[in-house]
């Protein structure tokens, strides 16, 4: 175990100058974007003292920092408001689904439940006779007709409409 009373060895000035130069060149490469992706074959083929290699490592570290910060933000949101968290994490998928439905026009194709509902018999609508129309046959009552007489719906066993009243001049 080293003696704590002795100062640590100091790096030679040449090494400090080389590190400073490497850092300056790496910063310039990072800002210009002139470096291969971290871990790519091109990155692996760079020498260990290459400024582009250091710039790629800095870029990867920055991406990781942003990723971790976003995950922490989403974790906090999931704890505080699960519905807002779900809306946020599924927003991209929902938008893609909307685009796909629109593109393929799948929203116009009826679902199985909609088809089943369409096949179910619906109750008959009540028929209503109108003053300007002829009498209507009543479904389920053969031979009976619904007439409109004096503002009333009247069911009669014949189709003859009443003759309109003619007013005579007196």
Measure the CA–CA gap between 18 and 16, rounded to whole angstroms.
5
Find the domain containing 90 and state its range: 81-117
Q: Is residue 107 part of a domain?
A: yes
Q: Is residue 167 part of a domain?
A: no
Q: What total number of domains does the chain contain?
A: 3
| C-alpha dihedral sign at 111, 113, 114, 116 | positive
| pLDDT tens digit at each of 170 positions of the chain | 667 777 777 666 666 777 788 888 888 988 998 899 999 999 999 998 889 999 999 999 999 999 999 999 999 999 999 999 999 999 999 999 888 888 888 777 888 999 999 999 888 778 888 888 899 998 888 999 999 988 899 999 988 765 665 555 55
Measure the CA–CA gap between 121 and 132, rounded to whole angstroms.
31
Q: Is residue 111 part of a domain?
A: yes
Q: What pLDDT sits at residue 168?
A: 57
Residues 34 and 67 in one domain: yes
Q: Is residue 4 part of a domain?
A: no
Residues 68 and 86 in one domain: no
Q: Is residue 48 part of a domain?
A: yes
Q: Is residue 5 part of a domain?
A: no
pTM tops 0.85: no
Q: What pLDDT sits at residue 1?
A: 63
Fill in the DSSP letter of residue 107: G
Residue 81 three-state SS = coil
Strand ranges across the sheet with 136-137: 136-137, 145-149, 152-156
């Amino acid at each position: 175990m080293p003696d704590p009373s002795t100062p640590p060895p100091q790096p030679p000035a040449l090494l400090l100058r080389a590190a400073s130069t490497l850092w300056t060149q790496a910063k310039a490469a990072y800002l210009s974007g002139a470096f291969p992706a971290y871990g790519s074959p091109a990155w692996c083929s760079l020498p260990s003292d290459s400024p582009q290699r250091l710039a790629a490592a800095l870029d990867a570290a920055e991406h990781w920092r942003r990723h971790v910060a976003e995950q922490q933000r989403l974790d906090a949101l999931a704890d505080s408001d699960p519905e807002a968290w779900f809306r946020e994490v599924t927003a991209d998928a929902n938008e893609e689904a909307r685009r796909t439905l629109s593109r393929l026009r799948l929203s116009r194709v009826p679902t199985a439940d909609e088809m089943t509902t369409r096949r179910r018999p619906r109750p008959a609508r009540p028929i209503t006779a109108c003053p300007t129309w002829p009498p209507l046959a009543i479904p389920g009552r053969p031979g009976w007709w619904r007439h409109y007489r004096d503002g009333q719906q009247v069911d009669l066993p014949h189709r003859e409409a009443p003759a309109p009243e003619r007013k005579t001049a007196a």
